[in-house]
């Protein structure tokens, strides 16, 4: 009887310890603030090619996070950015999409929608965590729909934490143009 009691006490203590460990999980990371340096990363795109933020120094970077390939809002957002790609290119801007889907899913998604920009796989959720965009969906975590506009100097110029997929591409483009106009040299008159 004593042995059985010791086993039960040990099991109860182990269960209590695991509950405490779950309760002690850190709170979600806050998103980096506008004006701060954007966290660097190293992620693979839909073709398996590696990308890091520092390779885009000197360019505008539209880093947009989205929940899932092949869903309505995510498809609308990606296609809207695709349809404005020439305007973004004219502004020296690169578009990078990020979700927790894997490279194979991204490859199919990019091909099906003829995406002319890279979408990056974050299956470990490390980068989504660095940018503070993770949310729980049932038993898994996904990236929420948020966009970071990163300036040519590597600093976050604008953060949209609530994104409507319709019209968002135009809003981001307008923001780039506004900031580019602020830095344009004055014309001699």
CA distance 170 to 118: 19
Q: 173 near 89, Cβ under 8 Å? A: no
Question: Of the residues 61, 62, 74, 134, which is catalytic?
Answer: 74
Question: Which residues are paired to 60 by β-bridges?
Answer: 93
pLDDT for position 187: 54
From first to last of its 189 residues, what are the pLDDT tens digits of the chain? 545 444 443 444 444 444 333 333 444 578 999 999 999 999 999 999 999 999 999 999 999 999 999 887 788 999 899 999 999 999 999 999 999 999 999 999 999 999 999 999 999 999 999 999 999 988 999 999 999 999 999 999 999 999 888 889 999 999 999 998 766 555 554
Round the CA-based radius of gyration of the chain to a whole number and report it.
Answer: 21
Please name the helix (run of DSSP H) or strand (run of DSSP E) that holds residue 5, with its range, or none.
helix 2-23
Q: 125 near 141, Cβ under 8 Å? A: yes
- What does pTM read for this prediction? 0.81
Would residue 79 show up in a list of annotated catalytic residues for this protein? Answer: no
- Pair of tokens at residue 35: 């004006």
Return the closest-CA partner of residue 41 out of 141, 122, 134.
Answer: 122
Q: 25 near 58, Cβ under 8 Å? A: no
User: Rounded to whole angstroms, what are the CA distances from 5 to 15, 47, 152, 189?
Assistant: 15, 57, 65, 92
């Amino acid at each position: 009887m004593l042995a059985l009691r010791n086993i039960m006490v040990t099991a109860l203590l182990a269960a209590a310890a695991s509950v405490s460990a779950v309760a002690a999980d850190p709170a979600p990371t806050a998103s980096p603030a506008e004006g701060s340096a954007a966290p660097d990363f190293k992620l693979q795109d839909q073709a398996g090619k590696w990308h890091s933020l520092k390779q885009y120094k000197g360019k505008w970077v539209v880093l947009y996070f989205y929940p899932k390939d092949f869903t309505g809002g995510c498809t609308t957002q990606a296609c809207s950015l695709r349809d404005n790609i020439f305007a973004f290119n004219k502004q020296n801007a690169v578009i990078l999409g990020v979700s927790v889907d894997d490279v194979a899913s991204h490859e199919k998604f990019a091909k099906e929608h003829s995406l002319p920009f890279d979408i990056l796989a974050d299956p470990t959720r490390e980068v989504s965590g660095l940018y503070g965009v993770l949310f729980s969906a049932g038993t898994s975590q996904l990236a929420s729909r948020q966009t970071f506009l990163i300036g040519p100097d590597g600093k976050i110029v604008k953060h949209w934490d609530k994104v409507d997929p319709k019209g968002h591409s135009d809003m981001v483009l307008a923001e780039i143009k506004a900031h580019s106009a602020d830095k344009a040299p004055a014309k001699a008159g």
